[in-house]
Amino acid sequence: MAFVDWDEQLSLGDPMIDREHQTFVALINKVHEVSLSPDRDAEIMRALTAMYLYAKEHFFDEEALMERVGYADRLRHAELHRAFVTKTHALTDACLDGSLEFTELMAFLVDWLKQHIQEEDARIVRHAQDQEAAKN
């Protein structure tokens, strides 16, 4: 069973963004899945690194979209992305040196992703869609 399920509440109606968010969810699930493997630490490290690199790629695409559609709040939004990258990095280190519970790391990743998509990313997509509608 997946740790976090993709559901319609996470779907924003922008095909590229939705596809990337689905991949993000799949990578978080992968981190959880490997935590049950015998070679746990190395596997977690590998899966977390993949998730982390993908997050950076996704943020890059989303920041380009904000730029393209002239989203006014883009600097604050980009700052939220930076903070996620920094915090994830720190939590990953803590998890690997044993000073953090793996479950706490997972809870952080899932809560952040859901909240960020539904509250923050949703605003960008709404802005892009309004702009598109105004053109027609």
Return residues touching Fe ion (CB under 5 A). 62, 121
Which residue lies nearer to Fe ion by CB, 25 or 121?
Answer: 121
Which residue lies nearer to Fe ion by CB, 25 or 34?
Answer: 25
User: What is the C-alpha to C-alpha distance for residues 51 and 60, in angstroms, rounded to an integer?
Assistant: 14
Phi-psi region of 69 (alpha: psi -120 to 50; beta: other; left: phi over 0): alpha
CA angle 65, 50, 63 (to 5 degrees): 10
Which residue lies nearer to Fe ion by CB, 42 or 50?
Answer: 50
Q: How far is the CB of 11 from Fe ion (least distance, A)?
A: 12
Q: How far is the CB of 21 from Fe ion (least distance, A)?
A: 6
Q: How far is the CB of 81 from Fe ion (least distance, A)?
A: 6
Q: Which residue is nearest to Fe ion (CB)?
A: 121
In sequence order, the 6+-apart residues with CB closer than 8 A to the CB of 63 are: 74, 77, 78, 81
